[in-house]
C-alpha cells in the first residue's frame, strides 16, 4: 500500500439507498435483477449528498457498477462537483438461487445450505453464487487500489452490505463470522482511516443521522 507521509487515507463507506426489495430484507446481489432506487431511496441519496456537501472535503467518488449504487453515487457526486468512478470489485455478492428471497424463506427452503454459509466463508450460496472468500479477495484488491490511487485523501465508496461489512471487518482484524453481526443500513455512512504505518482505524459505523 502507498500512503502520503503522516496523513491517513480515509474511505467513507456509503451503502446505497433503498430499493423496493430493501424494506422486505430480500437478498439482492449481483446475480439477480438490478433494481433502481425506490422513491424513498432517492430521498435518502439526496439527504446523504447534502450532508457530505456540508461536512467537509471529498476528493473522489467510487461506486459499485450496480444501478442502485450508481444512482446513489450520482446524487452525491453532483453535489460535490465530482465524477463517479466505477469499480467492479465493489459489487454485491452473487447469491445464486437465493436472489430475491428473504432470510426466512431461505431458512425454510435451504436450511442445510444456509447453516453452512453462516459458518464457512468458502460456502457457495444458492448453489451457483459467490463465496464470502471470493468477495473478500476482490474487496481487498479494490481497497488496495484505492489506497494507492488516493493517498492521504478522502474517498466516498458507494457499495453494498457484503463489501462494506468486509472492509470494516478487515480494518478491525475481526473473524469472518463478524460479518453477520454488523448493521449497515440503507444510505448509512461508515468511516475507516488507513495510516502510513499500515494500520487502520474504524472511526464510525452505520451513521444514519442525516436520514432523521
Of the residues 16, 110, 160, 210, only one is catalytic, namely 16
Residue-level pLDDT at 32 = 87
* 92 among known catalytic residues: yes
* 160 among known catalytic residues: no
pLDDT means per 10 residues in the chain (212 residues)?
Answer: 68 98 95 95 97 92 98 97 98 97 97 96 96 98 97 97 98 95 97 95 97 94
Closest CA to 32 of 40, 20, 45, 42: 20
Model's pTM, two decimal places? 0.95
Tell which phi-psi region holds residue 152, choosing left (phi > 0), alpha (psi between -120 and 50) or beta: left
Which domains does the chain show, CATH number per domain?
9-205 (3.40.50.1240)
**Pairing mode, if any, of strands 9-15 and 189-194?**
antiparallel
Of the residues 46, 71, 92, 99, only one is catalytic, namely 92
Residue-level pLDDT at 6 = 74
Tell which phi-psi region holds residue 54, choosing left (phi > 0), alpha (psi between -120 and 50) or beta: alpha
Residue 209: all three cell numbers together: 443521522
Round to whole Å and give the CA distance between 19 and 13. Answer: 18
Annotated binding site: 68
Annotated binding site for substrate: 68
Closest CA to 70 of 43, 88, 51: 88
* CA-derived radius of gyration, the chain: 17
Residue-level pLDDT at 1 = 44
Round to whole Å and give the CA distance between 156 and 73. Answer: 9
In DSSP notation, 166-192 reads: HHHHHHHT--GGGGGG----TT-EEEE
Residue-level pLDDT at 204 = 97
Contact partners, residue 167, CB within 8 Å, separation at least 6? 11, 13, 139, 143, 157, 192
Residue-level pLDDT at 16 = 98
Q: Which residue has the cell 430493501?
A: 22
Residue-level pLDDT at 4 = 44
Amino acid at each position: 500500500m502507498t500512503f502520503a507521509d503522516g496523513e491517513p487515507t480515509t474511505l467513507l463507506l456509503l451503502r446505497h439507498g433503498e430499493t423496493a426489495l430493501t424494506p422486505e430484507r430480500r437478498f439482492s446481489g449481483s446475480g439477480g435483477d438490478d433494481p433502481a432506487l425506490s422513491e424513498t431511496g432517492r430521498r435518502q441519496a439526496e439527504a446523504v449528498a447534502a450532508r457530505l456537501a456540508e461536512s467537509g472535503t471529498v476528493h473522489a467518488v467510487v461506486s459499485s457498477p450496480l444501478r442502485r449504487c450508481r444512482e446513489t453515487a450520482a446524487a452525491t457526486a453532483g453535489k460535490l462537483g465530482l465524477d463517479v468512478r466505477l469499480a467492479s470489485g465493489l459489487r454485491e455478492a452473487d447469491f445464486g438461487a437465493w436472489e430475491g428471497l428473504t432470510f426466512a424463506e431461505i431458512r425454510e427452503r435451504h436450511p442445510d445450505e444456509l447453516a453452512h454459509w453462516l459458518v464457512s466463508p468458502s460456502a457457495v450460496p444458492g448453489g451457483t453464487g459467490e463465496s464470502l472468500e471470493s468477495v473478500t479477495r476482490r474487496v481487498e484488491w479494490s481497497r488496495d487500489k484505492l489506497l494507492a490511487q488516493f493517498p492521504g485523501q478522502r474517498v466516498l465508496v458507494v457499495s453494498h452490505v457484503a463489501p462494506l461489512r468486509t472492509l470494516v471487518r478487515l480494518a478491525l482484524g475481526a473473524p469472518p463470522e463478524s460479518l453477520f453481526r454488523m448493521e449497515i443500513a440503507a444510505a448509512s455512512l461508515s468511516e475507516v482511516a488507513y495510516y502510513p504505518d499500515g494500520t487502520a482505524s474504524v472511526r464510525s459505523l452505520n451513521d444514519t443521522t442525516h436520514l432523521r
